[in-house]
Amino acid sequence: MRTYKITSLLVITSLALFSRSYGQKTASLKDSYKNDFLIGTALNATQIEEKDPTAKVLIPKQFNAATPENIMKAEVIHPGWDKYNFDLADKLVAYGKKYNIRINGHTLIWHSQLPAFMHGMQDADSVKQYFTNHIKTVAARYNGKVFSWDVVNEALNEDGTLRKSIFADKLGPDFVTEAFRLAQAASPDAQLYYNDYNNEQPAKRAGCIALIKKIQAAGVRIDGVGIQGHWRASNIPLKDIEESIVEYSKLGIKVMFTELDLGVLPNPWDGDAADVNMKATYTAKMNPYANGLPDSMQVKLTKGYEDLFKLFLKYKGTVSRVTFWGVNDGQSWLNGWPIKGRTNYPLLFDRNYQPKPAFDAVIALKK
């Protein structure tokens, strides 16, 4: 009788252990950093629709903020002049509500991933109408439903001047301020942000500060600036990042790291631009870790994340959110950009959703 009881107890315990899905033992990023800043991730359609069983458990446990990786971009949400497709964005909002995850709408005005009907549009009045209708319709629908908006994404060149784009060309240099004015009217309850890559670099940062001051001088609200954070593990500009947190906070706004990933692969131009339109050709030399990441690189990646989170913690209160650009390495856009078909390792969870040493290092800072 006794043996039977003990055996069945063992069977039950081991069954429980084996059926343990991801997440019951792993520490939680959002819980560890709950007194510091929000921890976010980019979500793709599969994850929003909860079609991946591991992600379904992992995401709500690890993250309390989310940005749609693609589904709120104009080409998806506004496919025809009078046609909007809110299906997935509505699902995302419901997902956020269900799991208490704050949604950052990404993005209202951006020159990339525009709908086909905008390509080559010459008539300034039409561009103006698109601009107004798009912001009004999308921002109003999600007022009170998203926590924040990336109102304008990537309006600047590396030297800090305004990037040549359909919006700058047809609407003039005030289009950024106008976008914020329209977003404020349509989505008064949302936080409004300007978002860019490399805006921690001194010249681009100066342009970004001037842009933010211009918005503020017009009496228009801007609540924060997003630094995307697509860096390379071997080349993280810690000093520029720290100076940027300090300089931006002097403007009275929050600073966020909105698309963090640390690539480990060679960059064809040896630079850090994150322009989605850049492309290079595949060669085996450019894909050195197809069969696994060597320890030396793993160590570099871990140290990179550790250094960054130390810095973010030093400025908690000013830094209000840190969002990773994806949940796991397999999902990362860096497997396909700027060269298709590579194997990159830029995030805290590996392709099987197992936490990496970098995850442990980030958690350890809070122990």
Specify the residue, 116 or 284, whose C-beta has the smaller distance to ligand XIL: 116
* CA atoms of 166 and 57, how far apart (whole Å): 41
Q: Annotated catalytic residue: which of 49, 50, 154, 200?
A: 154
Task: In whole angstroms, give the CA distance from residue 353 to residue 351.
Answer: 5
Out of 333, 345, 349, 353, name the contact with ligand XIL by CB under 6 A: 333
Beta bridge partner(s), residue 322: 39, 257
Q: How many residues does the chain have?
A: 367
Rounded to whole angstroms, the Cα distance separating 51 from 53 reads 6
Instruction: Identify whether 75 is a catalytic site residue.
Output: no
Q: How many CA atoms lie within 13 A of 313 on its CB side?
A: 15
x/- string (CB under 6 A) for ligand XIL, residues 235-274? ------------------------x--------------x
Residue selected from 26, 28, 32, 70 as contacting ligand XIL according to rule CB under 6 A: 70
Q: How far is the CB of 153 from ligand XIL (least distance, A)?
A: 5
- Give yes or no for a contact between 93 and 67, defined as CB atoms under 8 angstroms apart: no
276 binds ligand XIL (CB under 6 A): yes
Number of residues in contact with ligand XIL under rule CB under 6 A: 8
Q: Quick one: 175 or 302, whose CB is closer to ligand XIL?
A: 175
* Residue/partner pairs of 299-302 with CB below 8 Å, 24 or more apart: 299/357, 300/233, 300/234, 300/264, 301/233, 301/262, 301/264, 301/345, 301/346, 301/356, 301/357, 301/358, 302/356, 302/357, 302/358, 302/360, 302/361
What is the closest distance, in whole angstroms, from the C-beta atom of residue 2 to ligand XIL in the complex? Answer: 59
69 lies in the binding site for ligand XIL (CB under 6 A): yes
Whole-number minimum distance, CB 144 to ligand XIL, in Å?
24
Question: Measured between alpha carbons, how far is 334 from 177 in angstroms, rounded to an integer?
Answer: 31
Structure-token match 């040896």, residue found? 270
With binding defined as CB under 6 A, does residue 153 bind ligand XIL?
Answer: yes
> Looking only at residues 203 through 232 of this chain, which bind ligand XIL when binding is defined by CB under 6 A?
228
Task: Find the catalytic residue in 69, 178, 200, 259.
Answer: 259
Which lies closer to ligand XIL via its Cβ, residue 89 or residue 274?
A: 274
Residue among 364, 240, 250, 262 at smallest CA distance from 313: 364
* Cα 274 from Cα 261, distance rounded (Å): 11
259 is catalytic: yes
| 107-131 CB burial, b ≥16 within 10 A, e <16 | bbbbbeebbeebeeeeeeeebeebb
Question: Least separation, in Å, of the C-beta of 229 and ligand XIL?
Answer: 10
Work out whether 286 is an interface residue with ligand XIL (CB under 6 A).
no
Which of 204, 302 has the CB closer to ligand XIL? 204
- Asked if residue 41 binds ligand XIL (CB under 6 A), the reply is no
The C-alpha atoms of residue 95 and residue 41 are separated, in whole angstroms, by: 13
293 touching ligand XIL, by CB under 6 A? no
Give 199 or 244: the residue with its C-beta nearer to ligand XIL: 199
Catalytic residue set: 154, 259
- The footprint of ligand XIL (CB under 6 A) covers 69-70, 153, 228, 259, 274, 276, 333
